[in-house]
Amino acid sequence: MPSYQSLIEIRAENTADPACIEARARNVIDELETVGRQLSAVTFTDPDFTLAQAQNCAGSHYKGPLYGVPLAHKELYGRALPQNRGWPFEGGSRSYQGQTAAKTAMAITKLDRAGAVDCGRLVSVEYALGVTGHNSYAGTPQNPWNRDYVCGGSSSGSAAVVAAGIVPGALGSDTGGSVRLPAAACGLVGIKPTQGLISRSGIFALSNALDTAGPLTRSVADAAAILSCLAGYDSSDDMSVQTKSRDYARQIDGGLTGLRIGLAEHYFLSGSDSDISDIIAGVFDRCLRLGAQGRNVKIDGIEDSNPLNVLLIATEAAHVHNTMIDTAHRQLNDQTLMRVLAGMFTTDEAYARLQACRADYIARTLPELFDKVDMFMTPVWPFALPTIAGSDLGGNPDAAPLVQRIGHNTRPVNFLGLPAVCLPVGFDRNGLPVSVQLVGRPFSEDMLIRAARAIEREYCFWDTRPPPVS
């Protein structure tokens, strides 16, 4: 059975007894191939590689921050091996069937250096371009809290296996909400970092302007530990930014006293169903009782950022995957094709205007916003989670409004290039997780993590666990 141990607990056990590392890796592989497959969340395991990595780790004198910790990641993360035996690198798509990774993602290399054990790859929505998790080729992961419901997308497999207790953490990617939506749907902590904080080198691309990489875990401390291993400059990523290395858990228990938190009622709460927005307003009130300073915030023009983000993703995705769209479009899921075709008709002039519009909006908006608050608070999902069957709309006319609606609270954050941390704070009317999103100024991840930890202590969400998968 899954152990639900935290990353920190696992590392401590491994340090005390390195023999635990291989045994734990074997157990994780077994859980991925049984529970993970039952949840339709797993695309690939390589037991020989994983066990060899575990053995090498156990025999090493260096006990890194993730020493012997078993992880598994979204299938977009490349793993190259000798003799061209790379792990599958299909982007969740039949159009890239059989493609393997030509290089190891820098994020994976950093986790290797930190001592983590890589146990496999997990289902992604096709091209990472989807918000519900549906994938007719790779499989549609089922939510461990209730298998009739979506996991969210596009890092759906990552969310499913972490919520099921198979691994303590997994990497996802976030272009319009693809870490935060699955994390929120499955009751996890998800971090969407500042653009440029984590290298995207070796990660299956969707949108150069918007793609970010981040962890999904069951606790704020575990997410902070993984983020600390990943952050840093990489010259092979043209969006990477020079930043100082830091321990994101160093001030994790600093509490909320003195932090200025805004409640984004306009657009974010008003655009979410009342039963969801009421929960988030309750979290805000509790933060004030814990010492935070609070005020309402309005971000002028924010309502335009969701559709503009959708257009920017579609435009850049159409450029990245132009060959496949031309030659293998019949192999694409209907919804993927619907979305990327919209980008095919964006002219170079319109694309340049879109980029300029984004840059101008960021320059005008951020100084005024973060002069008033240190962070602001929103819901993640704007309504109760849908079922898998009820949201399986493919490319029919109702799909586009659903895609826009689900990303209502997440895409503006990508458009502004801001960091965000989401964490669970309760349950919706169907017994599925509800999460809050904390959004801060660029490179304020340490402050967001500090605030998230204070909220986590109040709600103790993981005192409750999903029913066993059988």
- Whether the per-residue pLDDT at 332 is higher than 80: the answer is yes
Compute the average pLDDT of residues 157-171.
98
Q: pLDDT tens-digit profile of 68-104?
A: 999 999 999 999 998 888 999 999 999 999 999 999 9
Q: From CA 61, how far away is CA 122, in angstroms rounded? A: 30
For residue 65, what pLDDT band results from cuts at 50, 70 and 90?
A: very high
Residue-averaged pLDDT of the chain: 96
Instruction: Return the pLDDT at 244.
Output: 81
Please give the model's pTM, rounded to 2 decimal places. 0.98
Compute the average pLDDT of residues 324-340.
90
- Whether the per-residue pLDDT at 245 is higher than 90: the answer is no
Q: pLDDT tens-digit profile of 427-442?
A: 999 999 999 999 999 9
Active site residues: 74, 154, 178
Instruction: Return the pLDDT at 239.
Output: 96
Share of the chain above pLDDT 90, in %: 93
- Whether the per-residue pLDDT at 470 is higher than 90: the answer is no
For residue 395, what pLDDT band results from cuts at 50, 70 and 90?
A: confident
Instruction: Return the pLDDT at 397.
Output: 80
In three-state form (DSSP H/G/I as H, E/B as E, the rest C), the secondary structure along the chain is CCCCCCHHHHHHHHHHCCHHHHHHHHHHHHHHHHHHHHCCCEEECCHHHHHHHHHHHHCCCCCCCCCCCEEEEECCECCCCHHHCCCECCCCCHHHCCCECCCCCHHHHHHHHCCCEEEEEECCCHHHCCCCCCCCCCCCCCCCCCCCECCCCCCHHHHHHHHCCCCCEEEEEECCCCCHHHHHHCCCEEEECCCCCECCCCECCCCCCCCEEEEEECCHHHHHHHHHHHECCCCCCCCCCCCCCCCCCCCCCCCCCCCEEEECHHHHHCCCCHHHHHHHHHHHHHHHHCCCEEEECCCCCHHHHHHHHHHHHHHHHHHHCHHHHHHCHHHCCHHHHHHHHHHHCCCHHHHHHHHHHHHHHHHHHHHHHHHHCCEEEEECCCCCCCECCCCCCCCCCCHHHHHHHHCCCCHHHHHHCCCEEEEEEEECCCCCEEEEEEEECCCCHHHHHHHHHHHHHHHCHHHCCCCCCC
For residue 351, what pLDDT band results from cuts at 50, 70 and 90?
A: very high
Instruction: Return the pLDDT at 27.
Output: 98
